[in-house]
Amino acid sequence: MATLSTIEFGPVEFSTVESAAVQSGSVPATEPVPGIRVLIIDPHRLLIDSLSQWLLVNAPGITVLAGTTAWPLGGQVPGGAGASADVAVVGELRGGEPGSIADVVTSLRESGMQVVLLADQQPAMAISSALDAGALAIVPKSADPSHTAAAIRAAAAGRRYLHPDVEGMLESTAHTRVELSARERRLVELYLGPMPRGTREVAEHLGISEQTVKSHLHRVRQRYGAAGFSVGNIISLQDQLRKDGWLG
């Protein structure tokens, strides 16, 4: 039987998994555990606990070191058990949490972990963005846990693993992009095209107020954010507009 003991790290709370053997003293708590070390990130404690227990019983060679309800994006890597994981299993983000799933993937990759994404609540564009950011495996949260175990093993070996349902969804939405109105297309061409203009110049060229230009740009950013893309600065917005074919 597995139990959870709590570790505190600033605003992020970790729970580490200890086996009954460790609790009884038959295996020292400090003894290194061979195999794949896993960190689970999800706002729901029930998922962390149930997946940890399933892996403990059914997935030899996979050890869940810790579970946490959030991952800090400020560049500081938490200490404790979770920081030494080989693979992070990431569920949905906490409501209102800053940053996109791609930001979390990037932060985890920079911390040295491979990433498995549990994707029931993620739109196709967010999944594509997570893959671009370095996630190696995508599994629906509702899938049998054996798929999650297979994804963890693949990611730890540096191989991609996409559940068949995820592959089908990505194929069916391969040509999906954020749509812009004719005015928005003209506005972003002027603002971020080959000869970029400031918002005041764009406003004068289009015969609208500068505030209207800013409002249009804000709505474009919101649309990309809703689709799972992080476009908080001009460079990232320009890059995504080029990928979608709105800029030459």
Q: Report whether 69 contacts 119 (CB < 8 A).
A: no
Closest by Cα among 156, 132, 120 to 42? 120
Q: Report whether 108 contacts 90 (CB < 8 A).
A: yes
Give 182-243's CATH code, choosing from 1.10.530, 1.10.8, 2.60.40, 1.10.10. Answer: 1.10.10
Q: Report whether 161 contacts 155 (CB < 8 A).
A: yes
Spell out the domain ranges in the chain: 3-172, 182-243
pTM equals 0.60
Question: What single string gives the DSSP state of each residue in 181-244?
Answer: -HHHHHHHHHHHSSS---HHHHHHHHTS-HHHHHHHHHHHHHHHHHTT----SHHHHHHHHHHT
> What is the maximum span of the chain, computed from C-alpha positions, in angstroms?
78
pLDDT at 236: 86
Residue with the bigger pLDDT between 181 and 153: it is 153
CA dist 86 and 112 (Å) reads: 7
pLDDT at 244: 76
Q: How high is the mean pLDDT of the chain?
A: 78
**Region 94-116 average pLDDT:** 76
**pLDDT range class, residue 93, cuts 50, 70, 90:** low
- Per residue in 107-133, pLDDT (tens digit) is 899 889 999 999 876 666 677 778 888
Give 3-172's CATH code, choosing from 3.40.50.2300, 2.10.109.10, 3.20.20.390, 3.40.640.10. Answer: 3.40.50.2300
Please list, in sequence order, all residues whose beta carbon lies within 8 angstroms of the beta carbon of residue 43, skipping any fewer than 6 positions away: 69, 70, 91, 92, 93, 94, 95
Please list, in sequence order, all residues whose beta carbon lies within 8 angstroms of the beta carbon of residue 237, skipping any fewer than 6 positions away: 192, 220, 221, 224, 231
- Per residue in 198-245, pLDDT (tens digit) is 999 999 999 999 999 999 999 999 888 877 777 878 888 888 888 777
Place of tokens 């709590």: 6
